[in-house]
Amino acid sequence: MGKPKHAKHAAPAGKAAPSAAPAPETPTRPRIVVPPIEPAPQAPAPAMAASAMGPRTMSMPPVKKKNPKRGFWTAVMWIAIVVFVASVAYLGVIAYSYWNDSNRYEEISDKVFTPQGDDLKSMTVDWDALRAINSDVVAWIYVPGTVISYPVCQTTDNEKYLEQNFDGASGVFTGSGTIFLDYEAAKDFSYPCNFLFGHHMNDGSMFACLSSFTAEEEFEAHRTVYLLTPDMNYEFKSFSILRTVGSDLIVQHTFTNVQEMASYVQDKEDRSLVTPTEGFPKASDVTKILALSTCDYNESDGRAILFTQMVDSATPPASGGTEVGDADGYVSSSGN
């Protein structure tokens, strides 16, 4: 609303001012109320957008808390990987040792011994070549139809050749050892009972096949055993296969008389897991025994032992005629 306009000239004193015509009323307009304008909300400026001049704070991402379970399973995974790699390496070493040992013995056999059928007199061994490799050699053992064709050693104990191969190799990359004659036996096999020992290798080498002879078919298929020495060749025939344990006092080389030996033989026939097709020999007729012993995994500290009796002997071509005797006077003549 505007203020009323005043008259241009004031009325003279003592006189009344002539009445003026009333001014027309100015129409009133409605008041318009304008609401206050709120400023639009502003997004907070990034911390790095602060004044380029002067101090500013660095905004760091929140630190994630470590999950203890995740760390545990990570450790388990790495341990499993290490164990797996170590296991593969260990199996590789074993496989290599089997392959290496088999090759070594095959090379030796090819050089010094070639089977000549079943002609006992014609079987020869290059003893000079064997002695050049190992002076402890005393015999060669051969079982037709099996992998058994190995040199035999003897030393002053039964420990050395459990770990050492015929050519002297031992350690991580070997494990077959050597077939050996019991250290208390006579090296010329003159005792009435002689024990040979050999490992039961998982690849079937050395004396491992003896455990399968507990089956009648396998026993009958491999009855003949040849033992060749520098002075005499022997043929043996199996009559008993038994399982026992390492604590069994079964190793015996000599006997006080014939009756004691016959009793020993009868015990082995009674304990045999297989009966020969022709039956057991008369115990008193067995005068020379060759026993082949190895580990047997059917029980803890188990042993499988094949007992054989001598059925023939002959002087090899490089030797003269001789007699096969033993410490107690049991003598078998050998011919040419």
Domains of the chain plus CATH, in order, are 89-333 (2.40.260.10)
Q: How far apart are alpha carbons 124 and 120 in whole angstroms?
A: 9
E-assigned strands of the chain? 137-142, 149-153, 179-181, 193-197, 224-228, 233-245, 289-296, 302-314, 323-324, 332-333
280: CB partners within 8 A, 6+ apart: 239, 240, 269, 272
pLDDT of residue 327: 36
Q: Check if the beta carbon of residue 253 is closer than 8 Å to that of residue 193.
A: yes
**Which tokens sit at 107?**
């090379």
pLDDT of residue 242: 97
Q: How far apart are alpha carbons 141 and 162 in whole angstroms?
A: 17
Cα distance between the two ends of the chain: 160
- Beta-bridge partners for 176: none
Residue 97 phi, psi dihedral angles, 5° rounding: -65, -40
**Which tokens sit at 11?**
């009325």
pLDDT of residue 164: 94
pLDDT of residue 83: 80
Task: Give the pTM.
Answer: 0.69
Helix (H) or strand (E) holding 77: helix 68-112
pLDDT of residue 5: 45
Residue 274's region, left for phi above 0, alpha for psi from -120 to 50, else beta, is beta
94: CB partners within 8 A, 6+ apart: 175
Q: How far apart are alpha carbons 254 and 228 in whole angstroms?
A: 21
Q: Check if the beta carbon of residue 244 is closer than 8 Å to that of residue 317.
A: no
pLDDT of residue 148: 96
DSSP 8-state symbol, 122: G
Q: Check if the beta carbon of residue 138 is closer than 8 Å to that of residue 154.
A: yes
Nearest 10 degrees: Cα torsion 115, 117, 122, 128: 0
DSSP 8-state symbol, 106: H
Q: How far apart are alpha carbons 309 and 288 in whole angstroms?
A: 6
DSSP 8-state symbol, 48: G
Q: How far apart are alpha carbons 228 and 122 in whole angstroms?
A: 11
pLDDT along the chain (336 residues), means of 10: 45 47 56 58 55 56 65 78 73 59 86 86 94 97 96 97 90 82 97 97 92 96 97 97 96 97 98 97 97 94 97 80 38 34
If you count DSSP H runs as helices and E runs as strands, how many of each does the chain have, helices first? 5, 10
